[in-house]
Homo-oligomer: A and B are copies of this chain.
Amino acid sequence: MQQLFGLNKREVAEILRRKDINPTTQRIEIAYLLLQRPQHLSAEEILQKLNKEYEQVSQATIYNTLRLFVDKGVIRELVFSPDRIYYDSHIMPHHHFIDVETGKIYDIPLESLPMKDINISGIDAEVLEVSMMIKGRLNQPS
């Protein structure tokens, strides 16, 4: 199973409906932006991009909607820094690399980081999310 990106607004609305979200104009705009491609955006970045040409969505609605989307599983919340939350439009399992120089987040496909025989001994729990974060310094392709 793979995730689709670059959908049109009608298709985005359908995705929201399937996730039990009333597809209002603002919610479609936000989801349409996010689901263009796999990406990591902060609330502020989303606000700027959406309202670049004219005021489309208020700050309060952005925040309310992002939280709703996370709860409903449309996007994933990334908490790597205390500064701001990033929202990941790519919800299939994968890991992240953060370049400490730029703060940019890169996806790491699961296959690139094979983990065999995972077995969390000593902890008896229902696992909801596994997330691997790697911080480092990108080597410049000079």
Contact = CB atoms under 8 A, between A and B. Distances in A.
Copies in the complex: 2
Given A113-B118, A116-B114, A134 B129 contact: yes
Interface string A106-119: 10110011111111
A117 B119 contact: no
Contacts of A99: 125
Contacts of A139: 124-126
Given A82-B82, A125-B137, A116 B117 contact: yes
Nearest to A109: B122
A139 B81 CA distance: 29
Interface in A59-112: 79-82, 85, 97, 99-100, 106, 108-109, 112
A1 interface: no
Contact of A128 (B79, B125, B129, B136): B136
Interface string A37-73: 0000000000000000000000000000000000000
A135 interface: yes
A133 B136 contact: no
Given A85-B82, A113-B118, A100 B124 contact: no
Interface of A: 79-82, 85, 97, 99-100, 106, 108-109, 112-139, 141
